[in-house]
Structures are given as structure tokens and as C-alpha cells.
Amino acid sequence: MHPKFDRSEAPAVTLPQHIAYIQPERYETQAGVPLYVMRNAHSEAVKFDLIFDAGSKYDEKPIAGLTTGMLLAGTEDKTLAEINDLVDDFGGYFNSSVSADHVYLSIYGLNECMTSLIELLEHVMHDAAFPEHELLRMKGERKEQLKINLEKVSTLAQREFQKQLFAGTPYGRMNEPDDFDGITRDQLMAFHQQHIRGGLRKINWVGNPTEQDIAYILKIFSRWGRLHKERETATFHASSGDFKVEKTDAVQTGIRMGKLLFNRSHPDYHKMTVVNTLLGEYFGSRLMSNLREDKGYTYGIGSYLGENQSDGYFVIATEVGKAFLADALVQIKHELERLRKEQVPQEELDLVRNYLLGQFLRGADGPFAMMELFSVAELKGLDFGFYKIALETLLKITQEEIQETAYQHLNPEEMIVVTAG
């Protein structure tokens, strides 16, 4: 039997003060494209990522997205269905995504047939023929999907926010449904030639390849070029102000409020991570506590640090009941000012510190998570040293530093406020 104990008393807790990071092995193709290999000792699961310097900022119209969507849609000698059947033969899966800066293609499979699967997909991607009939179909699908998304106040608010934030740069350009109509196969072919075949930034491989497998993959990817010249980067000049998007039949209003900030290369980034968590990035955050758990205005509210290759931004995002809009904006501003004008109580700071320590530990748990940490840092020219500094900053950040950082970077007067609904 257990001795009597007091249920109101919390068990003692300890938090990690150190996290072990595992460096992937680095190889390089003849063209200078790095291949990073992370070992997955306890599983047969393999993930193979290709990352291209080929995001949507490189074109005026939705060409990057369509090109990416059609990378595995047919070659001169294989149809879309044939390619998918072959991928199925190896038990493989793949998906792709496009950001403003990069195109990502991920291939999933098991160790036993990974090399054959990669070989197949390398060939298909390299020789992508962009069949006219597939292009026509994909344009129709993408156009309709965009129309559906434009019915959502969250999408409307987010798009207007990005338009204002990145005005006058490719980052602020949003696709409209009609943009898809005029796109031709030649435009995709040109984008493919220049940015996909010629823009392989790096390869990530989580699995258990043999030295022979690695040599073979390096050989077949030797025909993919890497851009060596640093791309021109955009300079942003957002102005603050209020912006409304009308959607009369909506029962909720989408809110996006934020400003240009910086990305993880900036010295204040680590402190800002802690400030942002306090404000809106965990369930007990000030925004959640106030707007959801105290007032019931919304199902959820959060704040985020977004980033792109050269810069970054801060944004608060939520959808609130229409009747609550006016006070929701008052409360959001109140929470920003409270962080800037009052010192955060030590107890709250300690809680957030511990919460983030747990998140750091979880974010480094297992080979897939470890590779992701490495990859995101590497794209910005950083390494695991970045996470070590993040951990050190978290362990020693003070109440004064929190207030100072919030004061400097979270002035609501400097923010763009978008409402859609």
C-alpha cells in the first residue's frame, strides 16, 4: 500500500539542461549538390527529400506550383497512371510542396526497395514531359481549389495580410483563379529546365543506406545542377494600418495582425521565440487564456514567427464570432501592450521556459525530427550551433529581457490589422 499523500501537491519536476544533436553525414554530387544522410537505426522507414531553389518568387504566375504538381505526371514513355503503378510496386509514397523560396519533394518507402524507388523517380522528374492534357486538367483543378479556399475567411485574411506585408515584391503576389488559364506547357518546361533541373539545393536521406547505395544515388543525381549564385533578395517596406475584406455571409471574422520582423539569422530571434510563446504559441498563452479560456470568443488563437529566405514576420491569427470582433481586437492589443509595459511574472516565465524545454526535447526526438532541425537551419546557412544558442538563451532569459524584446518588436501601432468577414 502507498502511504497517504496529498493530491493537491504537484510531483517534483526536472527539465533537461542539455540536448544531444546528431550531425548527418555529408556527401556531395559532382555538381556540388550536398547529400545529407541521417541513420534510422530502429526502423525500416525511409524518407528522401529533394529541396530546390525554385519557389513561387521566381515567377509571376502560378508556374512554380503547376511545375511541381506535374513533376511526376508523365514522361515521353510513361503516363501518370503508369508512374503511380511503378511507385506502388515499391510500396512508395511521395508528396510535394511549394513555398515562396523553395520546392520540396519527399519520397517515402522502406529500406529494402528505396534505391530502386529513388532511381525511378529521379528519371521521371528529370524527364518530366508536362503532357498538355494533364496540364489542362491540373489548371482546372487548381483553379477550382483556389475558388473554394477563397470562400474561407481564414484564407481571405491571410492573403490580404501577405499582400500588405510584402507589397511590391514577389512574396506579396497572390494567385487569382484566372491566372491559371493562360499558363502554357512551354512556361513549365522553361521553369523545369532552369529551376528544377538546374536548382537542386540539397538532398536529405533518413534511412539506412549502404555506402554502395549512397555512391549510386550520388551518381544518378550528378546530372542535376545547383545554383551557386546567391539569389537576389527582396526588400520589404510594409506600412501599418487597418484593412478589411468583405464577406457578407460569413458567421465568423478572420483576423490577421502583425508586422515585418526578422528570421532566425537575427540575434534577437531566440528571445523573440520565448516572447512569442508567452503571447500566443501554446495552449496556456496569454491570447488563448484571454480570448478563448476567459471570454469564449474563438475556438483558437495563436501567434507565429514566420520566415522566408531573407526576412521574417510576426502574425497573430484567429477566427472569432462576428459579434466579438470589436472586443477581440481590443483584447489582442491589450495583451501586446501588457507584454510591453509590465514585467512578466517569474512564475509564468518559468512555466514557459519549462514548456519550451520539453518542446525542444520533443523536436529533437528521433532521426526524422533531427534531420528536420538540421535541414531548416542549414537552409539559412546555420548549423546545430543555432539550437544550442536557442537552448542557452531559453535557460537564462530574464523578465527584463522579455519586456525589452516585446517593447522593441511588438508595438501594435506598427502593425497591419486585417479583418475578413
Q: Under the rule (CB under 8 A), what is the footprint of another protein?
A: 2, 5, 7-8, 10-11, 13-16, 42-45, 80-81, 83-85, 88-93, 108-110, 137, 140-141, 144-145, 147-148, 150-153, 249-252, 282-284, 292-299, 319-321, 350-352, 354-355, 357-359, 361-362, 365-366, 368
- CB nearer another protein, residue 4 or residue 237: 4
CB 125 within 8 A of CB 196: yes
- CB nearer another protein, residue 5 or residue 381: 5
CB of 186 to another protein, least distance (A): 23
- CB nearer another protein, residue 359 or residue 393: 359
CB of 355 to another protein, least distance (A): 4
CB 380 within 8 A of CB 310: no
CB of 223 to another protein, least distance (A): 26
For residues 106-132, one letter each, b for 16 or more C-beta atoms within 10 angstroms of the residue's C-beta and e for the rest, the string is ebbbebeebbebbebbbebbbebbbbe
Q: Which amino acid is at 108?
A: Y
How far, in Å, CA of 94 to CA of 89, rounded? Answer: 13
- CB nearer another protein, residue 144 or residue 400: 144
CB of 169 to another protein, least distance (A): 29
- CB nearer another protein, residue 119 or residue 404: 119
- CB nearer another protein, residue 94 or residue 224: 94
- CB nearer another protein, residue 190 or residue 351: 351
CB of 316 to another protein, least distance (A): 16
How far, in Å, CA of 116 to CA of 90, rounded? Answer: 8
**Three-state secondary-structure class, residue 106:** strand
For residues 301-311, one letter each, b for 16 or more C-beta atoms within 10 angstroms of the residue's C-beta and e for the rest, the string is bbbebebbbbb
CB of 159 to another protein, least distance (A): 16
For residue 58, how far is the Cα from the chain centroid? 18
CB 139 within 8 A of CB 180: yes
Helix (H) or strand (E) holding 38: strand 34-39
CB of 147 to another protein, least distance (A): 4
Q: What is the DSSP letter of 222?
A: G
The cell 493530491 sits on which residue?
7
Would the CA dihedral through 120, 123, 126, 131 be positive or negative?
A: negative
CB of 55 to another protein, least distance (A): 24
CB of 9 to another protein, least distance (A): 9
- CB nearer another protein, residue 145 or residue 193: 145
CB 71 within 8 A of CB 105: yes
CB 280 within 8 A of CB 288: yes
Strands in 416-420's sheet, in edge-to-edge order, are: 241-245, 416-420, 252-260, 312-321, 298-307
CB 74 within 8 A of CB 83: yes
- CB nearer another protein, residue 45 or residue 220: 45
